[in-house]
């Protein structure tokens, strides 16, 4: 490890498992002071204890929870440098079977929450030398034909719009905003789907699915000073499934 994030305070939402766990762990290994946020309290506390991080139980769709999360990071660690907006939900459902409540919940967790956290974090960053946001979107935002649902794809498309607009409006404060678009990732969120559809792996040009560690590596890069002139971008980590 090169301690790319030494001295930085990082919030990782959805950090109790899968991609979020991998991101939180690698950022801690790279020297960051990590705050793990999740609704899964037992798992979140276990992960945090294992990697030497704080845990704050957070429902990211609740603006008060988000404000408390940011306040914790600032009060406990003296500031906030990086936010990884990773928390997200989905389920596989046909276009005509999406219920109104499901649509609203997916948008609330997957994209509205990101705005809440960007707003709260940027209020601090703009007066303290800037910072970085890494928003986890998806190849579903770019037209992947096997996406879980229209609700999920729409929410992840919203993440890209928020990333680009946020990057343009926050750049003058030294705040960078980028997104990662994972492809097929072998994580708890979709491992059953991958097992049921092995033929989809064959569609990946590189022939292999991603691991949570692959997404974590991209997140560390976008959070670090190595990407200091990169903003408003979406980085595909999908083995070549999408090319835009």
* pLDDT tens per residue, range 42-100: 999 999 999 999 999 999 999 999 999 999 999 999 999 999 999 998 888 899 999 99
* pLDDT tens per residue, range 143-162: 888 888 999 999 999 999 99
Give the number of other CB atoms < 10 A from CB of residue 192: 10
Report pLDDT for 195. 84
Domain residues of the chain, as ranges? 9-184+212-236
Mean pLDDT, residues 183-210 taken together: 87
CA–CA distance, 192 with 184 (Å, rounded to integer): 12
Report pLDDT for 146. 83
Measured in degrees and rounded to the nearest 5, phi and psi for residue 29 equal: -65, -30
25 has a pLDDT exceeding 90: yes
CA–CA distance, 233 with 206 (Å, rounded to integer): 22
Measured in degrees and rounded to the nearest 5, phi and psi for residue 68 equal: -65, -40
3-class SS string, the chain: CCCCCCCCEEEEECCCCHHHHHHHHHHHHCCCEEEEEECCHHHHHHHHHHHCCEEEECCCCCHHHHHHHHHHHHHHHCCCCEEEECCCCCCCCCHHHCCHHHHHHHHHHHHHHHHHHHHHHHHHHCCCCCEEEEEECCHHHHCCCCCCCHHHHHHHHHHHHHHHHHHHHHHHHCEEEEEEEECCECCCCCHHHHHHCHHHHHHCCCCCCECHHHHHHHHHHHHCHHHCCCCCCEEEECCCCCCC
CATH number of 9-184+212-236: 3.40.50.720
The mean pLDDT of the chain is: 95
Residue 193: pLDDT band (50, 70, 90) is confident
**From 144, 152, 173, 200, the catalytic residue:** 152
Residue 2: pLDDT band (50, 70, 90) is confident
Is 173 catalytic? The answer is no
């Amino acid at each position: 490890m090169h301690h790319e994030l030494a001295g930085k305070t990082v919030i990782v939402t959805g950090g109790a498992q899968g991609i979020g766990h991998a991101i939180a762990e690698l950022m801690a290994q790279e020297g960051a002071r990590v705050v793990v946020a999740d609704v899964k309290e037992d798992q979140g506390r276990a992960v945090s204890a294992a990697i030497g991080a704080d845990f704050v139980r957070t429902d990211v769709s609740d603006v008060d929870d988000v404000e408390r999360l940011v306040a914790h990071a600032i009060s406990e660690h003296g500031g906030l440098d990086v936010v990884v907006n990773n928390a997200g939900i989905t389920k596989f459902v046909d276009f005509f079977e999406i219920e109104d409540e499901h649509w609203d919940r997916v948008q609330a967790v997957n994209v509205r929450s990101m705005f809440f956290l960007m707003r709260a974090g940027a209020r601090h960053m703009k007066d303290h030398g800037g910072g970085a946001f890494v928003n986890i979107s998806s190849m579903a935002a770019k037209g992947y034909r096997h996406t879980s649902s229209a609700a999920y794809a729409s929410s992840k498309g919203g993440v890209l719009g928020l990333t680009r607009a946020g990057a343009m409006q926050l750049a003058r404060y030294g705040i960078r905003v980028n997104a990662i678009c994972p492809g097929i990732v072998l994580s708890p969120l979709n491992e059953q789907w991958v097992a049921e559809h092995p033929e989809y792996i064959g569609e990946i040009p590189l022939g292999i699915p991603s691991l949570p560690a692959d997404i974590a590596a991209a997140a560390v890069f976008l959070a670090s000073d190595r990407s200091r002139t990169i903003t408003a971008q979406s980085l595909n980590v999908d083995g070549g499934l999408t090319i835009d």
